[in-house]
């Protein structure tokens, strides 16, 4: 006869696992990955693969040789970080820069704090922002579409975001006429412009990913909806006040907003625990993004906004409590 | 028809109600019956028999050991073998009375007929008389916790009872003993509800039943069709709907404030269907509480079933009669998989609160390996009390008891929804229980000063 097992209750488990959640994110990214392959071709594949491979390798190497613990690559978190880092890079970035980004993302962004679950900042964004300030030229040259077989030699062009910045700087609203219309932005098919990072091209593909994440209950609606809602309302007010500021739909469908709102800001580890806190966090990210886009020195503010709010997450967790049962008695 | 449920949190465990449509069988008498003296919340009972005494079925063997306590009656006839200590379902060694079974002779005053005694035929029963009979019969909550029933019927002067809520939810997976009782003894339960209403001096009762038991809902709606003041409330299936506070919220939409408030502070007296049945038997049949409906179940158990069991019957006998323990590692639970207690020995007897013996085998018997907390917040979402389990667990393991009290750890109802939902398989509730215990004793010692 076998043993009698004794433990405290509960003895049942809902079969949720870390792996299911992490691979859920990977599956949700598939539409955006496919679209990026169509638009950027080989460059996208090279950057994404090298990013994932180096993130996984660095996590393995650090756990094995520096922390001397059993590497937990199978939980999928390094793959997610690698994919998201890759999605946040231009498709013509040299592999060695991608590797530097992965080293910073996993090495400094994640493992220095103790690995999965302990990092205060989103590791992929730490990596991306490090690259952005260290390699400003390479990180802001954006390939245009239709160069399937070109990698580092792809033609580049200005992105919608830089056009929007020019409009504000010059105070001339007619500059905005160069922008593609909302449908083109939604599909990512802006013919002569730079397309931005690998992951942010097609808002529609990212929204498909959002539907999957919500369906599988990997994330809840609170963070993405509050970010996108705030951006629409805030940029709408600015647009009505002064037409040099782009209209809300353009703001939502351009740049890293969708990618950030759906995949980056919703990172479990660095976002607040309660729904109330998540809404405060989302509203603040939306607000900061528009502030940085319009009045900051960078054309895109999503990454910075998320990193800033990551720093506020512990504070939000401390002060924003869920409603206790029986708190308000009728 | 609107289906109600409670408002905060909750999870949906797999039902696994394997034994739902199996009629209740009468379990065989044990050779030796074991009666722990603390089968209820409160002071342990005090033995009134000695070694060598002859007892019958229904003989008082231990009297209430205080105000919050309950007497214990023998479920068998025979000779008291010894008064000793033995390991009970909590894993602690506790005082017990052990009786060697000889024959099956009942006390004469117990009415063993099936005749339905109606409250309307007994106008002589006053609320005080009903409460007295419930107290004397040793009736305690049959849902698991085992709080003496008569105390709930005498609310503190600051609170006024407005209704009785009968818990027919049975939200724990696997267990079907309450369901079988409802299907097989609906008339007695309804009379029991009437007795409880009269005892509590209220004229409204609700019976909450989860919608995964449509037959029970239908049966009770038919039976209460011409009873104006008993209302059947179908509830959407969600765990822990059987928790008192969740049930009150689901049925009458009132939230019981934080402890020390109890349901009667918002006007509700909550009793289990099993308790209603025991009350009927105690008051109308002069039958003290010494047998109960218990499910013996498990995915790997050969012949699971529902049994009418004499208390004191060891788990081993019931499990053997269902085909024995499966090979390999097993976890044997007194109760269901969400809140049941894993027993250390199969000599543990069925007590007043043992609604099920659930056997989890092989894969289900073991916990999974623990991973780091990924701060997903699913435990916060799942908590039916609006607490932050991840935080309580961390504070508990850091022994930050002051902070833990500020974070309302005492509101935790130990339902385990947090740990059930945790993707990292963290022992959240283990930690919280440790911290909650420490905080409770700190509060107690503060009150003594």
pLDDT digits (tens, 9 = 90+) for B345-381: 999 999 999 999 999 998 889 999 999 999 999 999 9
pLDDT at A276: 94
Asked if B411 and A325 come within 8 Å (Cβ–Cβ), the reply is yes
Binary contact (A5, B329; C-beta < 8 A): yes
Sheet holding B341-342, edge to edge: B25-26, B305-310, B291-297, B356-361, B330-334, B341-342
Tell me the two tokens of residue B295. Answer: 């499910």
The pLDDT assigned to A191 comes to 67
Which residues of chain B neighbour A272 with C-beta distances below 8 Å? 377
Residue from the list B256, B340, B375 with its beta carbon closest to the beta carbon of A11: B340
Per the CB < 8 A criterion, the answer to whether A96 and A50 are in contact is no
| Residues of A with Cβ-Cβ distance to B388 under 8 angstroms | 273-274, 321-322
Mean pLDDT over residues A112-132, rounded? 93
> pLDDT class for A328, splitting at 50, 70, 90?
low
Residue of B374, B387, B437 to mutate, testing the A interface (most A Cβ within 10 Å of its Cβ) = B374
CA distance A17 to chain B (A): 4
Q: For residue A313, give the chain B residue with the closest CA.
A: B375
- Partner-chain contact A2 B329, CB within 8 Å: yes
If you average pLDDT over residues B160-170, what whole number do you get?
A: 93
pLDDT digits (tens, 9 = 90+) for B226-268: 898 999 999 999 999 999 999 999 999 999 998 888 899 999 9
Query: A320 — contact with chain B (CB < 8 Å)?
Result: no
pLDDT band, residue A78 (cuts 50/70/90): very high
Nearest to B333 among A11, A272, A329 (CB): A11
Nearest alpha carbon to residue B282 among B58, B67, B62, B77: B58
Contact B331 A6 (CB under 8 A): yes
List the one residue out of A267, A13, A25 whose CA is nearest residue B425. A13
Among the four given CATH numbers 3.40.50.11540, 3.30.390.30, 3.30.450.40, 2.40.50.140, the one describing domain B119-284: 3.40.50.11540
The residue of chain A with its CA nearest to that of B260 is: A326
CB nearest to B386's CB, from A9, A75, A322: A322
Residue of B nearest to A270 (CA): B375
Distance CA B141, CA B139 (A): 7
pLDDT interval class at A1 (50, 70, 90)? low
Contact between chains at B254 and A21 (C-beta distance less than 8 A) = no
Q: Are A211 and A29 in contact (CB under 8 A)?
A: no
Interchain CB distance below 8 Å, A326 and B375: no
Report chain B residues whose CB lies below 8 A from the CB of A269.
Answer: 374-375
Structure tokens at B118: 């109606």
Average pLDDT across chain A, whole number:
89
A318 near B CB under 8 A: no
Q: Please report the DSSP string for B347-375 in residue order.
A: TPBP-TT--EEEEEEGGGGSPPPP-----
The answer to whether residue A330 scores a pLDDT higher than 60 is no
Residue B421 makes CB contacts below 8 A (sequence gap 6+) with A14, A16, B11, B378, B379, B381, B382
Using CA atoms, how far residue A189 sits from A167, A182, A204, in Å, is: 22, 10, 11
DSSP lists the bridge partners of residue B342 as B333
What average pLDDT does this structure show over A26-52?
92
pLDDT value for A72: 80
The answer to whether B219 and B183 have CB atoms below 8 angstroms apart is yes
Q: What confidence score (pLDDT) does residue A306 get? A: 96
pLDDT of residue A329: 45
Shortest distance between the Cα of B131 and any Cα of chain A, in A, equals: 30
Q: Is the pLDDT of residue B173 over 70?
A: yes
**Which has the minimum average pLDDT: A170-184, A258-272, B168-182, B233-247?**
A170-184
* DSSP-assigned states of every residue in A31-89: HHHHHHHHHHTHHHHHHHHHHHHHHHHHHHHIIIIIS-S---GGGSHHHHHHHHHHHTS
| Backbone phi, psi, residue B349, to 5° | -90, 160
What is the pLDDT averaged over residues B152-173? Answer: 91
Cis before B392 (ω within 30): no
Nearest CA in chain A to B258: A326
- Nearest residue in B to A114, CA atom: B372
Please compute the mean of the pLDDT values over residues B70-79 and round it to a whole number.
Answer: 94
Which positions 156-215 of A are in contact with B (Cβ < 8 Å)?
none
Residue B197, both tokens = 């209403």
DSSP state of B275: H
Q: Give the pLDDT mean for A157-176.
A: 83
- Give the residue-averaged pLDDT of B289-313: 94
In this prediction, residue A168 carries a pLDDT of 86
Query: By the CB < 8 Å criterion, does A70 face chain B?
Result: no
- Please give, rounded to a whole number of angstroms, the shortest distance from the CA of A60 to a CA of chain B: 16
Q: Which of A170, A315, A193, A208 is nearest to A250 (CA)?
A: A193
Q: Is A117 on the interface with B (CB under 8 A)?
A: yes
The structural domains of chain B, with segments of one domain joined by +, span: 119-284, 378-448
Q: How many CA atoms lie within 13 A of B317 on its CB side?
A: 19
Interchain proximity B420–A10, CB inside 8 Å: yes
Hey, are the CB atoms on A7 and B342 less than 8 Å from each other? yes
Q: B421: which chain A residues are within 8 Å (Cβ-Cβ)? A: 14, 16
Residue A119 has pLDDT above 80, yes or no: yes
* Per-residue tokens: A68: 């001397």
Cβ contact, residue pair B11, A14, below 8 Å: yes
Task: Give the tokens for residue B366.
Answer: 């073991």
Give the mean pLDDT of A223-233: 96
Q: Do A4 and B330 touch (CB under 8 A)?
A: yes
Shortest Cα distance, chain B CAs vs residue A8, angstroms:
7
- Tell me the two tokens of residue B371: 């991973």
With cut-offs at 50, 70 and 90, classify the pLDDT of residue A206. very high
A108 to chain B, closest Cα gap in Å: 18
C-alpha B132: how far from chain center = 22
The DSSP bridge pattern shows strands B356-361 and B330-334 to be antiparallel
User: What value of ipTM does the predicted structure carry?
Assistant: 0.88
Tell me what the mean pLDDT of segment B313-333 comes to. Answer: 93
Q: Which of A268, A272, A278 sits opposite B374 (nearest CB)?
A: A268
Burial A184-205 (b: 16+ CB within 10 A, else e): ebbbbbbeebbbbbbbbbbbbb
The alpha carbon of residue B81 is apart from the nearest alpha carbon of chain A, in Å, by: 28
Interface test with A, best of B380, B393, B429, B434 (most A CBs within 10 A): B380
Contact B331 A11 (CB under 8 A): yes
The pLDDT tens digits of the residues spanning B32-45 come to: 999 999 888 889 99
| Of residues B145 and B35, more confidently modeled | B35
Nearest neighbour of A75 by CB, restricted to B254, B325, B371: B371
Residue B305 banded pLDDT, cuts 50, 70, 90:
very high
| Residues in chain A within 8 Å Cβ distance of B368 | 13
Residue A107's DSSP bridge partners are: none
CB atoms within 10 A of CB B236: 15
């Amino acid at each position: 006869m076998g043993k009698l097992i004794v433990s405290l209750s509960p003895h049942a488990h809902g079969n949720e696992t870390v792996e299911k959640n992490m691979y859920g994110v990977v599956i949700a990214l598939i539409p955006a990955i496919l679209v990026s392959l169509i638009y950027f071709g080989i460059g996208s594949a090279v950057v994404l693969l090298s990013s994932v491979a180096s993130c996984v390798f660095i996590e393995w190497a650090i756990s094995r040789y520096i922390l001397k613990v059993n590497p937990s690559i199978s939980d999928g978190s390094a793959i997610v970080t690698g994919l998201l880092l890759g999605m946040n890079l231009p498709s013509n970035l040299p592999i060695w820069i991608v590797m530097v980004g992965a080293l910073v993302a996993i090495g400094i962004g994640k493992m220095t704090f103790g690995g999965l679950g302990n990092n205060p900042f989103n590791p992929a964004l730490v990596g991306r922002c490090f690259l952005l300030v260290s390699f400003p030229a390479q990180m802001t040259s954006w390939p245009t579409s239709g160069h399937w077989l070109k990698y580092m030699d792809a033609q580049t062009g200005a992105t919608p975001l830089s056009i929007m910045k020019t409009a504000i700087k010059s105070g001339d609203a007619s500059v905005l006429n160069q922008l593609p219309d909302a449908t083109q932005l939604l599909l990512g098919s802006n013919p002569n412009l730079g397309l931005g990072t690998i992951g942010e091209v097609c808002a529609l593909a990212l929204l498909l990913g959002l539907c999957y994440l919500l369906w599988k209950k990997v994330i809840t609606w609170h963070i993405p909806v509050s970010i996108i809602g705030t951006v629409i309302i805030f940029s709408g007010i600015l647009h009505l006040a002064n037409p040099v500021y782009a209209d809300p739909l353009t703001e939502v469908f351009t740049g890293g907003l969708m990618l950030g709102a759906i995949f980056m800001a919703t990172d479990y580890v660095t976002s607040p625990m309660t729904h109330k806190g998540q809404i405060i966090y989302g509203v603040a990210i939306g607000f900061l993004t528009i502030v940085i886009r319009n009045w900051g020195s960078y054309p895109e503010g999503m990454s910075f906004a998320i990193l800033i709010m990551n720093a506020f997450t512990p504070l939000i967790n401390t002060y924003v409590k869920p409603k206790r049962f029986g708190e308000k008695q009728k | 028809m609107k289906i109600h449920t409670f408002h905060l949190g909750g999870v949906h465990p797999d039902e696994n109600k394997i034994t739902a449509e199996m009629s209740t069988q009468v379990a065989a008498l044990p050779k030796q019956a074991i009666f722990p003296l603390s089968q209820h919340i409160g002071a342990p009972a005090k033995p009134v028999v000695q070694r060598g005494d002859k007892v019958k079925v229904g003989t008082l063997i231990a009297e209430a050991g205080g105000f919050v306590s309950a007497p214990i009656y023998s479920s068998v006839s025979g000779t008291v073998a010894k008064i000793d200590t033995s390991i009970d379902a909590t894993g602690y060694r506790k005082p017990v009375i052990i009786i060697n079974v000889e024959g099956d002779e009942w006390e004469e005053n117990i009415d063993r007929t099936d005749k339905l005694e109606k409250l309307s035929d007994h106008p002589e029963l006053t609320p005080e008389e009903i409460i007295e009979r419930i107290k004397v019969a040793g009736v305690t909550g049959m849902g698991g916790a085992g709080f003496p029933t008569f105390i709930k019927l005498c609310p503190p002067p600051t609170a006024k009872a407005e209704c009785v809520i009968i818990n027919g939810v049975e939200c724990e997976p696997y267990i079907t003993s309450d369901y079988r009782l409802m299907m097989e003894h609906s008339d007695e339960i309804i009379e029991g509800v009437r007795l409880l209403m009269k005892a509590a001096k209220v004229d409204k009762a609700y019976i909450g039943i989860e919608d995964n038991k449509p037959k029970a809902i239908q049966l009770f709606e038919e039976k209460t069709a011409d009873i104006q003041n008993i209302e059947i409330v179908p509830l959407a299936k969600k765990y822990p709907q059987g928790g008192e506070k969740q049930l009150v919220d689901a049925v009458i939409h009132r939230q019981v404030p934080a402890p020390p408030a109890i349901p009667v502070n918002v006007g509700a007296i909550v009793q289990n269907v099993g308790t209603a049945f025991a009350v009927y038997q105690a008051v109308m049949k002069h039958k003290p509480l010494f047998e109960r409906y218990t499910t013996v179940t498990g995915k790997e158990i050969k012949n699971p079933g529902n049994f009418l069991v004499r208390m004191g019957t060891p788990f081993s006998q019931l499990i053997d009669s269902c085909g024995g323990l499966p090979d390999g590692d097993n976890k044997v639970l007194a109760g269901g998989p969400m809140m049941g207690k894993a027993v250390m020995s199969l000599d543990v007897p069925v007590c007043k609160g043992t609604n099920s013996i659930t056997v989890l085998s092989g894969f289900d018997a073991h916990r999974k390996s623990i991973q780091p907390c990924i701060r997903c917040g699913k435990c916060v979402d799942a908590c039916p009390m609006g607490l932050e389990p991840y935080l309580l667990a961390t504070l508990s393991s850091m022994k930050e008891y002051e902070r833990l009290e500020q974070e309302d750890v005492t509101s935790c109802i130990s339902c385990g929804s947090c740990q059930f939902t945790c993707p990292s398989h963290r022992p959240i509730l283990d930690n919280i229980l440790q911290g909650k215990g420490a905080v409770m004793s700190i509060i107690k010692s503060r009150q003594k000063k």
